[in-house]
Structure 1
Amino acid sequence: MDSKRLERSKNKKLKRKEVLEKKKVIEEIIKSASTVKDHLASFLAFSRYDRNGLSVYLESGFGDQLSSSIKKYIQNLLKVNMEGPYGSDWPLEEKVKRREMVAAEARYIFVRESSNVVHDDSYLKEDGKMNYWTGDGDPLVGFMHYRFIVEEEIPVLYVYELQLESCARGKGLGKFLMQLIELIARKNQMGAVILTVQKANVLAMNFYTSRLRYVISAISPSKVDPLIGYEKSYEILCKTFNNEAEDKLENLAPK
């Protein structure tokens, strides 16, 4: 073997070793983040939300440890909030979401109404129904479902769901929860927060892009291939925390 071939072979082995080592590091980051028992414990200032006439507290949960009453609540709230944006795709999507919500890797933040809150008749929802919670304990008024995964060789926190009841919307809670999620992502060495939004859900799209400054990711169908993206009903949004994540997930042109 001549010197050039030997050098190329050596470089390939070094590159392969670097790739494997990087993959191992990322796997350890994901494993470490996923095994934390309670991500809220590091952010006690975010354990309660008392603003704009809303008084709630947060608690953590795991997908494979959900009670039957919580499963029922999640299913009901998802249907109420998402059947419209998904349209005719909802029956199939609902089946997917039911599988996703009980997966071992699913992590939750539940939003419960404080027990000292007293309601009058004005608390009735616009549709005439009371809270969707039918289990024991303080009523749930929303939840987040998130996971730690790898996208384009970047460890990321993926927000699968942010669902709030109508009584908890428009009061700053959604922004509060997303700020918390970003803190959790940073603390656990994630390179970005990623989420999927239905194009038909205009309010949600504006919320993430205008108020929270998320951008359409380079991995979103509309960026990968505009023709295919046009046919898709969703966009993938992201907020990155370092240069590598920005390069791979936002794919911004050089400044």
Structure 2
Amino acid sequence: MEAKGEINQRETRMKRKEMLEKKKSVHEIMKTAASEKDCLSHFPHFRHYQRNGLCIHLESGRGDKLSSDTKKCILNLLKLNMEAPYGPEWPAEEKVKRREMVASEARYIFVHEIPNEDAIKESESVDKERKFTCYPIVGFVHYRFILEEEIPVLYVYELQLEPHVQGKGLGKFLMQLIEFIACKNRMGAVVLTVQKANLLAMDFYLHKLKYTVSAISPSRVDPLLGLEKSYEILCKAFDHEAQVVLEAS
């Protein structure tokens, strides 16, 4: 008959082994996700959006490979949409966003507006596909694969659209794509931060897309702390572990 101490030691070794195996598995998931060169290659039907008077082409990109024109476009769109919600915090926040946008781990989906539908129908060849990138960028998604509470997640840093393409289903289309990308890369959830003052964005994520205020959001961690913060962290979990850790009610 085993002594109690031997049983405890065996259980400790088993738990340690499980933890190491889980850590290795998570490391492989993150490594594979980070190595993805073109997130859109797995979702060809999402490259184009032709609804509600819009003719859109999507292109993927990386933060450390942005052209100077693209950087300028990103900053202009950020200021246009976010200066008001951030209020007096914007100058400091803008500096943070300048650094974030060019990080090697930053992944992008760029939204190009095409003058007419005939341009998209011309050809499906790779060479002609690239020419769509010469059309103006009217929006983008900046996201990253990160660990949140040891859970692999796709974190949406930005979803920005020019005013004239808003309210036409494009934002929902992009977030559907983001969720597909997250699941394809075995992420446990999609997580994002929204300014409380951005009422339209809060309504969009909470009510239209059914995201929830995450258990890691300041208002859930400590209600008093939450009152001091100008933002909420929202999430949508795809597996039980992520639900328990990130959505716990």
Normalized against structure 1, the TM-score is what? 0.89
Q: Which residue matches 1:239? A: 236
- CA displacement, residues 109-158 of structure 1 (integer Å, 9 cap, x when unaligned): 0000115479xxxxxxxxxxxxxxxxx82111000000011112211100
- Please tell me whether the aligned partners of residues 55 and 115 of structure 2 are also in contact (alpha carbons under 8 angstroms): no
Q: Distance in 1 between matches of 2:86 and 2:117?
A: 34
Counterpart mapping for 1:215-230 below 5 A: 215-230=212-227
Query: Does 1:12 pair with 2:9?
Result: no
Instruction: State yes or no: 1:191 paired with 2:185.
Output: no
Distance 2:98 2:56 in 1: 26
Are residues 1:207 and 2:204 paired?
yes
What amino acid is aligned across from residue 60 of structure 1 in structure 2? S
**SS of equivalent residue, structure 2 residue 158:** strand
Conservation of the 8 A alpha-carbon contact between 2:206 and 2:212? yes
Alignment RMSD, CA only? 1.5
- Asked if residue 143 in structure 1 is aligned to residue 140 in structure 2, the reply is yes
Equivalent-residue separation in structure 1 for 2:95 and 2:4 (angstroms)? 56
**Residue ranges of structure 2 left out of the alignment (5+ in a row):** 119-132
Q: Which 4+ stretches in 1 moved above 3 angstroms?
A: 115-118
State the partner residue of 1:126: none
Determine whether 1:84 maps to 2:84: yes
Matched, 1:64 2:61: no
Select 2:175's aligned residue among 178, 182, 186: 178
Using the TM superposition, give the Cα deviation of residue 203 of structure 1 relative to its aligned residue in structure 2, in angstroms.
0.3
Deviation per residue, 1:197-246 (Å, 9 max, x gap): 00000000000001000000000000011010111000000011111111
**Secondary structure of residue in 2 paired with 1:189:** coil
Alpha-carbon distance in structure 2 between the residues aligned to 1:117 and 1:6: 72
Report SS of the residue matched to 1:24.
helix
Once the two structures are aligned, what percentage of the paired residues are identical? 65
Paired amino acid for 2:208:
R
Question: What is the TM-score with the length of structure 2 in the denominator?
Answer: 0.91
Q: Which residue of structure 2 aligns with residue 127 of structure 1? A: none
What is the match of residue 73 of structure 2?
73
CA contact (8 A) 2:61 2:109 kept: yes
Counterpart AA for 1:22 = K
Q: Is 1:37 matched with 2:33?
A: no
Distance in 1 (alpha carbons) for counterparts of 2:82 and 2:144? 20
State the one-letter code of the partner of 2:55. Answer: S
1:73 and 1:148 mapped to 2: Cα distance? 23
Q: Secondary structure at the match of 1:170?
A: coil
**For 2:45, what is the secondary structure of its paired residue?**
helix
CA offset digits 1:41-72 (Å, max 9, x no partner) = 11111110111111110000001000011011
State the match for 2:94 in structure 1. Answer: 94
Q: Which of these residues, 140, 151, 154, is aligned with residue 154 of structure 1? A: 151
Distance 1:140 1:113 in 2: 7
Instruction: Give the partner amino acid of 2:8.
Output: R
List runs of 5+ in structure 1 lacking aligned partners: 119-135
CA distance in 2, matches of 1:19, 1:68: 44
Distance 1:102 1:3 in 2: 58
How far apart are 1:83 and its partner, in Å? Answer: 0.8
Letter in 2 for 1:62: R
Q: How does 1:99-138 map to 2 (within 5 A)?
A: 99-116=99-116, 137-138=134-135
